[in-house]
Structures are given as structure tokens and as C-alpha cells.
Structure 1
Amino acid sequence: MKNEDFRNERLVPLSAMKDYKVAKDNPDVLGWRVVGADGESLGMVRDLIFDPAAMKVRYLAVLADRRFFNTGDDQRLLVPIGVAALDKKGKKVFVSAIDSNSVSSYPVYAGGPISEDYEYAVRDSLHRNQRDAMPGTTTEHRAEFDEALHEQKVRSGNMPSDFYNDASFDEDRFYTSDQEVYREKIYSTRDYDETVADTSTTDLHHEDRGPKSVEDSISTIERLEHLREKGSITQEEFILLKKRALDL
């Protein structure tokens, strides 16, 4: 299709934009296998969704494996580019926020113009997955997450100008990432998992070790702030982990 066919669209498949292509310094991920948090193959990258106004890629268009949807029809998913990471050597894309159990509940893209409702549904689905996957997440924390999502759903009829001002849509974060996926097992180069594991271990052994010291809590919060600044964790993850560090 020609560029003129998309003049009034906010988001456009990169394959349809003949005058645009992936920057030469960035890998072309079309055809790369998409791997979930549990090491299962979820599908394949078939296109990139481009924002012509901002000159940025917003989503990976993924053709999902049909086995997860119990259908003979192709199922397409749009995954925000910032929640994915590259395995450059293995030519795979790793998505930690989705696995073989949660992919069937991920919003399916039906094709055509990408609606604001679909983008909100994707955001909310990822936030719920991230919430449920966090070690030590309690019923109270889940309720806090749901309340935060509810507050974010205030819509003006137009996509807010700051909707994409989030690490989930940071294409630089995607293209500069590199992880290795061996034998369907994930070995992350990010330090997010290490910090979460450390926080979780502290919670698990809290009764044995006695109350956490102020110094321990401050040290944990400083690490979390560092990860938030780097974009390794979202604001919602930071809030919940901070509360756990303070025993709130």
C-alpha cells in the first residue's frame, strides 16, 4: 500500500511505508521468533508499527502461534516495543511480560486502524501480567494495581500526548538491549530480576531475620530508584517494591 493510504492514521505498518525502513544500525527483527517469560515460543515478528508524527516505532506486530488460541485463524498481537528485548545472537525477541499461560488473554489485533481502546487494552493487560508475576504480590497489592489502572482509564476522546512517554514505548531501550536465550531458558543481562529476587528473599526470611533495618530499606529503595531511572522497571513496579521494602 502507498504512503497516501495512511495519511490520516496515527500508527502505520512500517512495511506499508515505502519511504521508511529500519535504521541501518538497528537489527531488522522481521521473522525473528518471539519468546515468552517461561521460554516458550509465542510467535514471530511480522511487522513494526510506526508513528509517522514522532518518527518512532511503537509496537512489534507479532503473528502468534495458533496453538494458544485454539483456532485455525491467524492471531496478531501488538506488543509495545519497550517491553521486549533482543537476543541478537539467537535472533529472538524476548518478552518478559507475557508467557504461554497469559498470551491467550492478550488483546488480539483484528487489523485495520489501531484504535485507542485497543492500545489501552494492551497497556492494561501488560500491567496486570507484570503485577501477577512479581514475587510476593499479595491480594492487597493486586487491589492497588487494579485501582491504579482504573485511575489511568480517564479518557478525553483523544490519545493523551503523554501516552507514549513510558519505558514500554522506548525503542532505544529495545534496540540497545541484548539477552541470550539458550535451550528455551532465559538468562537476562538486566539487573531487574536480581533486585526483585533480593527483595523477595528479604520478605521470605523476614520472620527469621527479624525486622529489616532502616539501612536495608534505604539501600533497597536506592536500587529501585536506579532501576526506575534506567527504565528497567515501571513506575507501578517501583511503587509496589518500595512498599514491600518499607513493610507497608
Structure 2
Amino acid sequence: MHTNSINYSNLETLSTSDYRLANDGADITGWPVQNEAGAVIGKVNDLLFDPANNAIRYIIVELDLALLNEEKMVLIPIGVADLADDSKTIIVPDFHLDQYAAMPRYIMDEVSYEMEDEIRRVIGSPAALRMEDEIVEIDRENFYRHHHFDRGNLVREAQSRL
């Protein structure tokens, strides 16, 4: 008998947990999020972290209402985000509007492996911006070793700008 069980990721929001950023980490909640072209796409609503590995995995972005004409929060892997050179602003790649529309809607405590796989499929390679290419099989054991999750010290870099 085959059951359709959902495997949830063990990720927690920073704001509702006991997790605290280290002394050298800045809380970027509330910071604006822009694409590389300078267009505002939303703001940082919260961060999702992996308590088992003590690592931030995603930025929860509340998309600007004008972007899709609907309220939507999405997860952006920490490794694709960067800091603006001269301000408290998060920069993400120039994703196509179709990619934002195709990203799964973030619902608190409902981040499943399937949702994470879908995020990776939708954003693919930011340079390619092609949703047709699909990853055939994703290795869960090494999922967070992908360049999308290269922590790149984003939160630590943000602290130096405060």
C-alpha cells in the first residue's frame, strides 16, 4: 500500500524561535529586497534556519503587491541573495515575473521537501531563467550543499553595515 505522506523540512522561522543570530550576525528583517536592475520586489519578512546545522537556509520575502497583483510570501535561498553596496538592501537575481508566480507560496510551518525541490526547479540557474529545465532527482542528503545555500556570510556582512 502506497501512502502519500508529506515530508516536512525541519526549518524554523527566526522570529518565533529561541534561535539567535551570533554576535556577528545582523537581523535583516524588514530590509527592502530589490532585483539586480534596482526594482523593488518586496521586503524581508523573516529568515528560515536549520536548527540541526545552525544555518540560515532561506530569506522569507513578502513580495510587493504590485509585482503579481496579489499578496504572496516566497522563500529565496540565502545563497542567491546579496547586499547592496551602500545601503541596507538585499539584492536578488533578476528573476522573471513568471518565476515569482511559479514559486510556491510560503506558509509558516509547511515547508516540505517537495516545496524546496520546486523552489530549486523554478529558480534554476538565475542566468538561464528557464523553467523548462528540471532537475531529475534531488539528493536530500546533500540538498543544502548546492550553491543556492552557500551562506556567503550575508547576515554577517549586513552586521558590518549597521
For the pair 1:169 / 2:145, whether they are aligned, the reply is no
Tell whether the 8 Å contact from 1:35 to 1:92 is kept in structure 2 after alignment: yes
Aligned positions, number: 151
Q: Read off the aligned partner of 1:24 and give its amino acid letter.
A: N
| Aligned CA-pair RMSD | 2.7
* Matched ranges for 1:1-248 at <5 A: 10-18=10-18, 20-71=19-70, 74-87=71-84, 89-98=86-95, 102-127=99-124, 129-132=126-129, 146=133, 149-151=134-136, 154=137, 160-175=140-155
**Larger RCO (CA under 8 A, 6+ residues apart):** 2
Structure number with the higher strand fraction is 2
Secondary structure of the residue aligned to 2:145 is coil
CA shift, 1:91, in A, is 0.3
Structure number with the higher helix fraction is 1
Compute the TM-score of the two structures, normalised by the length of structure 2: 0.79
Measure, in 1, the Cα distance between the counterparts of 2:68 and 2:135. Answer: 27
Question: Which 4+ runs in 1 deviate beyond 6 A?
Answer: none
Structure 2 gaps of 5+ residues are 1-7
Could you say if the C-alpha distance between residues 105 and 68 of structure 1 is closer, same or farther in structure 2, counting changes exceeding 3 Å?
farther
Compute the TM-score of the two structures, normalised by the length of structure 1: 0.54
CA shift, 1:97, in A, is 4.6
Identity %: 29
CA shift, 1:69, in A, is 2.0
Structure 1 gaps of 5+ residues are 1-7, 133-141, 179-248
Which structure has the larger Rg?
Answer: 1
CA shift, 1:177, in A, is 5.9
